[in-house]
Structure 1
Amino acid sequence: MSKQQKLPGSLASSRWLISHTLDLLPPLALASLLACLNRLVALGIYLLAGVGLVQVIGLELPGPSSRVPIGLLIVAIIFAGLLKGGLRYAEQYVGHKVAFLALSRLRSTMYEAFAKQAPFTAATKSSGSLLAKATGDIDKVEVFFAHTLPPAVAAVVVSATVSWWTYLNFGSTPALILLSGYVIVGLLLPMIGVPTLRRAASSAATSRGKQNQLVMESLAGVEVLHAFDAGEQMIKRLAITASADAAQGNRAGWVTGLRAALSQIVTWGSALALVLASETTLSATIILVVIAVPSYDSVRTVDGFVLGLQDSLASARRLFATASAPPVVAEQRGSVPLPHTGTLSVQNLSVFHDQRQVVEGVDFSISPGELLTVVGASGSGKSSIAAALVRALKSNGTLSLGEVQLDMVPLAELRSRIVLVSQEAVMVRGSIRENLVLGAEGITDEELRSVINELGLGPWLRAQRDGLDTRLADRSSSLSGGQRQRLALARALVRHPAVLIMDESTSALDADSEQLVLNAINERRGYGMGVLMISHRLATVREANTVMVLDAGKIVESGTPQALLADTSGVFYSMVVRENDRITAESP
C-alpha cells in the first residue's frame, strides 16, 4: 500500500468484517439475548432492594401490595444474583467464543493476503507494520465482535423496557424524562469528539507499526547497538515515535473525561427530575429512582464501547486495506504446467519497483547445465532480475522455460521449478527437517542427509543428538551465517529445480566451504540443472559459461570469462583488477 493510498471508510471495513463472519451471527444473537436477560435481572435485583428499603424505613408499598417478608426478599435477591452471574458468564463465554473464532478467521485471511503479496512485499515493506497488523490490529478487532452488538442490543432493550414499565406504573411524564435521558446518554453523548477519537485510534494503530519496526530492528541488530553504544539513540527514536500518539491520546482523554462527566450529570439530573415530577407516593418514587439510576448503566455501555470501537474500526481499516490490496504479481487463470527441464529464455526484460524502472532491456538465456554469472556494482539490478524470474517483482518482457511463458504458470509451480536462494538465508522455528522440506512432499531423510553431506554439513549434523529432528533456536541464532546459507542451498537442491538462482548465497562461506558448494552445483549441472549465479566474488565466475555485467539496470558487457578478461579496456577486466589489488593489499 503506497503512502498516498487512503484507508477505506469505517462502513466498508465493517461490511468486510461481517462478510467474513456471517455464519457467526446466530451465536452473536444468542450473546445479545443473554446480555439483555443479564441486565434485566440486575434491574430486578434493584427492584427487590428498593422494596426492602421502603419497608425498612417504615413506608407502605405502593398499590394494593402487602408487606413482603424481608427473609423472602433476601432469598429472592440471592437467587437473582446467582442467575445474573450465570447469565453474565454465558454472555461472556458465547460473545468471546464468537470473537476468537472471528479473530482466527481474520488471521487466516491476513496470512493469505501476505502470502499473495510475498515474497517481495514482506522483504521491502515495514515488517514491523506487517507484524502489527497480524497481531495487534487483529486483537483490537475483538472489540467489534465481543463488545459491540450485545451491549448495543441490551441498551435498546433495557431502555425501552424501563421506559414502558415507568409509563404503565407512573405515567407519561416520568417515562419521557427517562427516555430523554437514555437518548442523551446513549446517542448524543457518544457523538461528542468522535473525529478526535478516530484520529487518536488511527494514530495509535500507525504508531504500533512504527514501534514494532523499531523493536524488531533493535533486536536484529542488538550486537551492533552494543558495539556502538547506540542503545540510548534507539530509545530516543522510540520515544519520538510515541510522542505524536501521546498527543492524540491526551486529546482523546479530554473527550472521554468530558463525556463521562456529562453522562453522570444526565443520570443524576434525570433522577432529580423524577423526584420533582413525581405525583405518587414517596415509596413509589424511591422504587422508581432505585431502578432508574442503575438502568443508565446499560445505556452508558454504548459510550464505553464507542471508545473501543474507534480503535477496532481503525485496525479494521488497516486490515481491510491490506487484505484488499492487489498482489505484486497476479496469479493467472488457465495456467499451464512448466516442463521439468528446458532453456530459460529472457527477452527485453524490464523490472519495476514502486513504479520505478530498475532494469531495462535485458536479454539472456540459460540452457540446461549452463552457468550464467551476473556481476555488477550494488544497485545495478542483479537481485531485481532474480526476483523477476520467480515473479516476485512486476516486470515486462518475454520470460519462458522450455517455450512456456512464465507468466502463464501457477506461481507455486514456477517457484518449485525455478528456485531462488538469496543472501539472507531465513530459517523458520522448527526442526532441521522442517526447515529443509517446508511443506514439499516426497522428500526422504536419505535425500536430506545426502545433500547435507555434499555441502559439507555432514559432520555438523552427525554431532547433533537429534539429527534431522534437532530444533533450531529462535532466529536460528545457534547457526553461523555459513551454516544457514548451506542449509538454504540444501533446501533448494533437494527439490531438483530446473533452474537454480543463487543471489549472493555463498557470501558467508570460506573458500573451502564455497568450493564444496560449487562442486555440488556443478554435479547437478551435469544432470541438466541451469544456474544463474549473482556474486560480488569474481573468483566464482571462472567456471561460468557466460558472464553478464550490469550497470544501472542495463547489460554493459556479456561473454565468456576468457573473452571478457582479454579485453583490457572492458568493465569486467577493471573489476577483476580492482579485486586482485584488494586481495593483495589485505594479504599479510
Structure 2
Amino acid sequence: MNLIFSYLKRYRVAAIAALVMMLIELSVELSQPLLISKIIDNGIREKDNSVVWLWGGVLAVSAIIAFAAGVLSSFFASHASQGFAFDLRDKLYEKVQSFTYEVFSRFPTSSLITRLTGDVTQLQDTIFMGLRFMTRVPLVVLGSVIMALVVHVKLGLLLTVTLPVLILFLAWVIRRSSDLFRSVQVRLDGVNGVIQENLTGIRLIRVFVRMGHEIGRFASFSGELMKSTVAALRLTETTAPLIMLIVNAGIMAVLWFGRIEISAGEATLGQTVAVINYSLRTIGAMSALSSIMATFSRAIASSQRVAEVMSADAATDVTAEQAEQANERKRGVSGISDYTGPDAIQGEVEFENVSFSYPGSEIAVLEEISFKVKPGERVAIMGATGSGKSSLVGLIPRLYEQNHGVISIDGVDSSELDIAKLRGAIGYVPQEVLLFTGSVRDNIAWGNEHATREEIERAAAAAQIHETVTGLPQGYDTKLGQRGVNLSGGQKQRLTIARALVRKPAILILDDSTSALDAVTEGLLLEELKHMSCTTILITQKISSTVSADLILLLDEGRLIAKGTHGELMTGSSLYRKIYESQGKEAVHHVQSIN
C-alpha cells in the first residue's frame, strides 16, 4: 500500500484541502444536534422565541457552511484521485515497457490489462472515497460519541460501549474480504483472457464451428467470477444488518435509560434528543460502512496486484538514461538509433559457444552455437519447427539473455552496448505479423516517425508493396482495420518489412517473414536487399531464399549441425540436399534467374 499511495504525494495539497473541507463540514454537522438541544431546552420549553430565532439562524448558517465545504471537499478529492490514477497508470505502463521478456512472461496479457485499467480505477475510487467518505465515517462515529458524552455522560456511555465490538468485528471483515476480492480480480483476469483469445481468433472459431464450445468456456470462467464475487459481497453485505443491530441496540438502551433519567430529573428532554440524534448519525455512518468496506477490501487486493507489477524485476538493460529516452519518445522523438559516425554499429555479428534456455525451464533451446557474420552479408537460417531459429535471432537485440557464451556486435560484447544503441540499429520483422490501427503511412513510419514521404515510399518499394499501396483507394493514407484485417497475409508481411527497412538498419532480421510471398515477389525482395548495406539475417524454410546467401545455418533441435554457402552445404550436408531435392530445382532456378 505504501508503494502505491506514494503517488498521492504530488497531490497532497489537494488531498489536505479535501480533508480540511471535510472536517469543516463534519464539525458543523456534529454541532447541529447540540444546537437543536438548546433550541428545545432554552427556547421551546421556556417559550422564548428570541432563543429559537437566534439558534435557528445559527443552525441555518451552519447548514450553508457545511454545504459549501462539502462541495469544495468533493472538488479537491476528485482532483487528487484523478491525478493519482493518471500518474500511477503512466508509471505502470512505463514499468511494463521496461520488462525483459523473462519478467513479461510472468504476467498474462489479460492480467496486465486488468491491472492497468480495473485495478487502477479501483484505487482511484478508493482515494476519492477515502478523502471524501472513508475518513468521514470513523470521525462521525468518534465525534458523535464524544459529543454525546459532552451532552450527557451516562447516556453517552451507552453509545460508547458499542464501539469496541464494532471495531473488532470490522477488522475481521476487512481482512477476510480483502482475500476474497483478490480472488475476484484473479477470476476477472481469466474472463478477460478468454475474451481476448476469442476476439483475436474469431475467424478460426467460426471456420471450425466452435462457437458453442467457446460460449460454454466463457460461461465457465464467467460463472467462477460470479461465484467469487457473490462470496465476497455476501460477506460485506452481511455486515450491514449486523452493524445496524449493534447500533440500534445502543439506541434502544439510550431511549430506555433516557426516560428513566428524565423522570429522575438527571437529564433534560433536549439532552436526550441530542444523544439520540448523535446515535442516529452513527447509524447513518454505519449504514454506508458495508459499501465502504467492500471498496476498501477491493483496494487492498488491487494495490497488491499493482505492487506486484511495480516491484517486478526491472529489465537489466534499462538504465536511467534509457528511461529518459523512453520519455522523449513519448514526447515525439524517434525510436531509431541516433548513433552515427565512426561509433555507429556496422553490422558484424558473432556468436561464440552460445547456449540458451527460457527462464524457468531447464530445456536447452540452443546449445553451443558459434558463427560469424561480416557487415553487409546475408545469412539464412533453416531448420525444422522448434529447432531454435526464432530464439537465436531474438538474442541479437537482447530480447532474452543467453545462459552461456558471448554474442558480439562489431567485436564488442552486446551486453556492454547501450541497449538503445543496439536496438536502434536493428530492423526486426517478427514471425507474427502485427500492424496497428491507422493509415498505411503511419504503419510504415512506425519504424521511424521522422521518415520523409520519399523515405517511406522508397522503403515500400524495396519491400515490393509500393504498387499495391498506390492502388488502394487513398494510397498511403488508406486506413487499415484492426491488425490490418483488410489486407492479405502477403501484403501485411511486406508492410512490416517496409516498416523495418525505413529504419535504415545496420542489422535486418527477417523471422520467417517471407512465408506468404510467392517466389517471384520474394526473389525481387531479396534482390533489393542485395543493394542495401545492412547485414541481413533471414529465417526461412525455402531453399530459394538461401541459394544466394553468404552463409547458411542449419539448425536441428537447438544445435548448429551445418553451416556454409549453398554450394558447400550441397556437398557437405545430406539434410540440406534432401531439403533442396524436396522443394524442387525449378523454383530455385527461377529465383536464380530473377537474381
Q: TM-score, normalised by structure 1?
A: 0.86
Deviation at 1:180, TM superposition (A): 3.0
Is the contact between residue 190 and residue 303 of structure 1 (CA under 8 Å) also seen in structure 2? no
Q: CA RMSD in A?
A: 3.2
Q: Does 1:211 align with 2:191?
A: yes
Q: Which residue of 1 aligns with 2:570?
A: 565
Deviations 1:244-298 (A, max 9, x none): 3333333323322331111111221121121223221334322331232123433
Is the contact between residue 148 and residue 274 of structure 2 (CA under 8 Å) also seen in structure 1? no
Measure the CA separation in 2 of the matches of 1:400 and 1:334: 23
Q: Which residue of 2 aligns with 1:10?
A: none
Is the contact between residue 50 and residue 290 of structure 1 (CA under 8 Å) also seen in structure 2? no
Which of 403, 406, 421 is the equivalent residue of 1:398? 406
Which of 523, 533, 538 is the equivalent residue of 2:543? 538
Deviates more, 1:469-478 or 1:558-567: 469-478
Paired residue type of 2:160: L
Q: Unaligned regions of 5+ residues in structure 1, if any?
A: 1-13, 584-588
Measure the CA separation in 1 of the matches of 2:67 and 2:586: 78
Deviations 1:194-239 (A, max 9, x none): 3431222111111121111111110111111112221221122222
Q: Which residue of 1 aligns with 2:590?
A: none
Deviates more, 1:357-366 or 1:14-23: 14-23
The total of aligned residue pairs comes to 560
Which of 462, 486, 496 is the equivalent residue of 2:504? 496
Measure the CA separation in 2 of the matches of 1:35 and 1:333: 40
Measure the CA separation in 1 of the matches of 2:122 and 2:369: 47
Measure the CA separation in 2 of the matches of 1:68 and 1:286: 21
Is the contact between residue 329 and residue 392 of structure 1 (CA under 8 Å) also seen in structure 2? no
Give the direction of change, closer, same or farther, for the CA distance of 1:312–1:421 in structure 2 (3 Å limit): same
Deviations 1:106-165 (A, max 9, x none): 111111111111567657852212211221121122133212254343234333433332
Which of 199, 214, 220 is the equivalent residue of 1:240? 220
Which of 150, 169, 175 is the equivalent residue of 2:156? 175
Deviation at 1:422, TM superposition (A): 0.7
Deviation at 1:554, TM superposition (A): 0.8
Question: 1:137-286 to 2 correspondence within 5 Å?
Answer: 137-170=119-152, 172-185=153-166, 187-278=167-258, 279=261, 280-286=267-273
Measure the CA separation in 2 of the matches of 1:275 and 1:192: 30
Q: Which residue of 1 aligns with 2:16?
A: 29
Deviation at 1:441, TM superposition (A): 5.8
Give the direction of change, closer, same or farther, for the CA distance of 1:518–1:99 in structure 2 (3 Å limit): same
Measure the CA separation in 1 of the matches of 2:564 and 2:549: 10
Give the direction of change, closer, same or farther, for the CA distance of 1:87–1:332 in structure 2 (3 Å limit): closer
Deviation at 1:174, TM superposition (A): 2.1
Q: Which residue of 2 aligns with 1:378?
A: 385
Question: 1:405-484 to 2 correspondence within 5 Å?
Answer: 405-438=413-446, 440=448, 442-464=450-472, 466-484=474-492
Paired residue type of 1:177: L
Which of 270, 275, 292 is the equivalent residue of 1:288? 275
Measure the CA separation in 1 of the matches of 2:69 and 2:169: 29
Is the contact between residue 372 and residue 548 of structure 1 (CA under 8 Å) also seen in structure 2? yes
Measure the CA separation in 1 of the matches of 2:525 and 2:52: 89
Paired residue type of 2:393: A
Is the contact between residue 200 and residue 245 of structure 1 (CA under 8 Å) also seen in structure 2? no
Give the direction of change, closer, same or farther, for the CA distance of 1:333–1:316 in structure 2 (3 Å limit): closer
Measure the CA separation in 2 of the matches of 1:367 and 1:178: 85
Is the contact between residue 455 and residue 513 of structure 1 (CA under 8 Å) also seen in structure 2? no
Q: Which residue of 2 aligns with 1:298?
A: 285
Paired residue type of 2:401: K
Deviation at 1:503, TM superposition (A): 0.3
Measure the CA separation in 2 of the matches of 1:445 and 1:508: 27
Deviation at 1:421, TM superposition (A): 1.0
Deviation at 1:74, TM superposition (A): 8.2
Is the contact between residue 538 and residue 579 of structure 1 (CA under 8 Å) also seen in structure 2? yes
Q: Which residue of 2 aligns with 1:95?
A: 77
Deviations 1:321-358 (A, max 9, x none): 11221145433799997633142111111122123331
Is the contact between residue 390 and residue 511 of structure 2 (CA under 8 Å) also seen in structure 1? yes
Q: Unaligned regions of 5+ residues in structure 2, if any?
A: 262-266, 323-336, 588-595
Measure the CA separation in 2 of the matches of 1:352 and 1:581: 37
Give the direction of change, closer, same or farther, for the CA distance of 1:334–1:231 in structure 2 (3 Å limit): closer
Is the contact between residue 352 and residue 393 of structure 1 (CA under 8 Å) also seen in structure 2? no
Deviation at 1:95, TM superposition (A): 1.3
Is the contact between residue 204 and residue 245 of structure 1 (CA under 8 Å) also seen in structure 2? yes
Q: TM-score, normalised by structure 2?
A: 0.85
Measure the CA separation in 1 of the matches of 2:269 and 2:320: 78
Q: Which residue of 2 aligns with 1:586?
A: none
Give the direction of change, closer, same or farther, for the CA distance of 1:253–1:157 in structure 2 (3 Å limit): closer
Is the contact between residue 182 and residue 296 of structure 1 (CA under 8 Å) also seen in structure 2? no
Deviations 1:46-86 (A, max 9, x none): 6677888x6xxxx9758878347989888877765554443
Measure the CA separation in 2 of the matches of 1:523 and 1:282: 100
Deviations 1:390-433 (A, max 9, x none): 10012132111212221112222211112221122222233333
Give the direction of change, closer, same or farther, for the CA distance of 1:50–1:550 in structure 2 (3 Å limit): farther
Measure the CA separation in 1 of the matches of 2:161 and 2:489: 70
Deviates more, 1:334-343 or 1:312-321: 334-343
Deviation at 1:382, TM superposition (A): 0.6
Deviates more, 1:366-375 or 1:30-39: 30-39
Deviates more, 1:281-290 or 1:67-76: 67-76
Task: Report % sequence identity.
Answer: 22
Deviates more, 1:297-306 or 1:210-219: 297-306
Give the direction of change, closer, same or farther, for the CA distance of 1:228–1:441 in structure 2 (3 Å limit): closer
Give the direction of change, closer, same or farther, for the CA distance of 1:70–1:436 in structure 2 (3 Å limit): farther
Which of 311, 314, 331 is the equivalent residue of 2:298? 311
Give the direction of change, closer, same or farther, for the CA distance of 1:259–1:580 in structure 2 (3 Å limit): same
Q: Does 1:577 align with 2:593?
A: no
Is the contact between residue 344 and residue 399 of structure 1 (CA under 8 Å) also seen in structure 2? yes
Is the contact between residue 349 and residue 373 of structure 2 (CA under 8 Å) also seen in structure 1? yes
Paired residue type of 2:223: S
Deviations 1:421-452 (A, max 9, x none): 11222222333333323374642111111111
Question: 1:21-170 to 2 correspondence within 5 Å?
Answer: 21-43=8-30, 66-67=48-49, 83-118=65-100, 126-170=108-152
Deviations 1:526-550 (A, max 9, x none): xx31111111223211111121111
Measure the CA separation in 2 of the matches of 1:68 and 1:259: 46
Is the contact between residue 348 and residue 410 of structure 2 (CA under 8 Å) also seen in structure 1? yes
Measure the CA separation in 1 of the matches of 2:118 and 2:226: 18
Q: Which residue of 2 aligns with 1:355?
A: 360
Structure 2 SS opposite 1:373: strand
Paired residue type of 2:238: L
Is the contact between residue 429 and residue 471 of structure 1 (CA under 8 Å) also seen in structure 2? yes
Measure the CA separation in 1 of the matches of 2:320 and 2:55: 72
Deviations 1:491-517 (A, max 9, x none): 111111111111011122233332332
Measure the CA separation in 2 of the matches of 1:30 and 1:293: 28
Q: Which residue of 1 aligns with 2:264?
A: none
Paired residue type of 2:269: L
Structure 1 SS opposite 2:350: strand
Q: Which residue of 2 aligns with 1:321?
A: 308
Is the contact between residue 40 and residue 158 of structure 1 (CA under 8 Å) also seen in structure 2? no
Measure the CA separation in 2 of the matches of 1:22 and 1:123: 32
Paired residue type of 1:462: T
